[in-house]
A and B are shown apart, each in its own frame.
Chain A
């Protein structure tokens, strides 16, 4: 499978713990996006990268959230001091983002449960 992959698929953690998620995009895709989806809602944009540069962060992304894409390949999303409100599905997507392609390819997501 050469699609976007995410690890882990499920994570259960206690409130106050730190968690880190990984996303491996489709190779050679220069754009990488993180979204969060809660029950009954569509995905909400969190942040995105062009190669290794983080170009934009949503106001949804509090100081407890940090994302990196150190070599312009895989990305990590870390949540520090988790809260119950962080429980959600975290989706990663990648895109070649050329003048002719706007499609974002999504991964399967990481479901986070904070108890």
Chain B
């Protein structure tokens, strides 16, 4: 079955520390993976997708098919990165989301 797993509900770091939000997936085909973010009182929005291999707001994510992972990383966290982060898998035109990880960045 297609599934996305985010093992951490909460990740707390201090400003300037590195961040890694974990995402593992289960998918029988060639996956299209995304990270969505929801800042406080804002709507869910796309942060990045693996196919574009871009860095957004300093975040990167590399698809590792061997480990079936798509972890989100940032070398130096900022307070404004505090938000809810969802990993998502495109499953034939619909998204399957993980349960999300709340990132708290303390000053």
Closest to B98 in A: A42
Interface of A is mostly: loop
Is B43 close to A, CB under 8 A? yes
Q: Which residues of B contact A44 (CB under 8 A)?
A: 97
Residue contacts A-B, CB under 8 angstroms, 27 given: A3-B43, A31-B93, A41-B100, A42-B4, A42-B86, A42-B97, A42-B100, A43-B86, A44-B97, A45-B94, A48-B94, A56-B93, A56-B94, A97-B93, A102-B34, A102-B51, A103-B46, A103-B49, A104-B46, A105-B45, A105-B46, A106-B43, A106-B44, A106-B45, A107-B43, A108-B43, A109-B43
Interface of B is mostly: strand
Is B96 close to A, CB under 8 A? yes
Q: In the complex, what distance in Å separates the CA atom of A55 from the CA atom of B86?
A: 25
Is B99 close to A, CB under 8 A? yes
Is A85 close to B, CB under 8 A? no
Tell me which residues from 64 to 98 in chain B have a Cβ below 8 Å from any Cβ of chain A.
86, 88, 90, 93-98
Is B32 close to A, CB under 8 A? yes
Q: Which residues of B contact A97 (CB under 8 A)?
A: 93
Q: Which residues of B contact A33 (CB under 8 A)?
A: 94-95
Q: Are A45 and B43 in contact (CB under 8 A)?
A: no
Q: How many residues of A contact B (CB 8 A)?
A: 24
Q: In the complex, what distance in Å separates the CA atom of A45 from the CA atom of B44?
A: 14
New A-B pairs, 6, CB < 8 Å, besides A43-B44, A104-B95: A31-B93, A35-B95, A41-B100, A45-B94, A102-B90, A106-B45
A3, A102, A105: the one within 8 Å of B49 (CB)? A102
Known: A103-B49, A104-B46, A106-B45. A43 touches B97 (CB 8 A): yes
Closest to A40 in B: B99
